[in-house]
Amino acid sequence: MVDFRDRHVVVTGGTGALGTAVVVALVEAGGICHVPWRDAGEVERFDYREHKQVKLVGSIDLTDEAVISRLYGEVPDLWASIHIAGGFAMSPVAKTGKDGLKQLVDTNLVSCFLCCSAAVNAMSRSRRGGRIVNVAARHALEWRSGAGMVAYTASKAAVAALTVALSEEVAKEGILVNAVAPSIMDTPANRAAMPNANHVAWPKVEEVAATILFLASPENKVTRGAIVPVYGRS
């Protein structure tokens, strides 16, 4: 089992389905989770909101550079930063305007970039190294599958490129940067949206969380620049 005892970890999107699975796993491994939130309703549904190892911070706009800088500046001895927050939209190019594109770029790429930048600065100050894990998507690796959701695919492909380039930039500081690329995950929302799909084949959020935890852990000593497919049997 991975060991996060007394290690501070930022988890964006930590009150969502995958984020909650990651927070639960981190808490069980002894980690201290700093979870920025935007939606008060999601916080109310978050079972770990009063856990002693979970520190909720909000309301936070992950595209506001100054706010992100303050958030990371208040985390002591940051060990890992896990960036799950993002957005999705089905929309063909012909019906996607500039505003729709910018929203997905902001939600997926800009938020991830700003959090990566703040995390690198925090880890560099501590000189202890650290781990960064981003969340791309299957469409970021398999571009042809992104037909009908081109703006989303492009924004997640950018997250994948950011991950690989950054991993080269900070490796000498002992900061290992990776990403996971999930297919459709088995969540209540996805089941409701696709009731006739083969839900058994979808990866479970706990399974994806386990991969994220390893990449973010001290036990990961060599893996960097990887975009790890977490597709299950789908």
User: Is 161 part of any domain?
Assistant: yes
pLDDT value of residue 90: 92
**Residue ranges, the chain, pLDDT below 70:** none
User: Is 83 part of any domain?
Assistant: yes
User: Is 102 part of any domain?
Assistant: yes
User: Is 76 part of any domain?
Assistant: yes
The DSSP line for 105-161 is: IIIIIIHHHHHHHHHHHHHHHHTS-EEEEEE--HHHH-GGGGTTBHHHHHHHHHHHH
**Residues spanned by the domain of 195:** 8-230
Tell me the pTM.
Answer: 0.96
pLDDT value of residue 162: 98
**CATH (domain of 188):** 3.40.50.720
pLDDT value of residue 234: 83
The domain total for the chain is 1
pLDDT value of residue 186: 86
User: Is 78 part of any domain?
Assistant: yes
User: Is 34 part of any domain?
Assistant: yes
User: Is 2 part of any domain?
Assistant: no
User: Is 150 part of any domain?
Assistant: yes
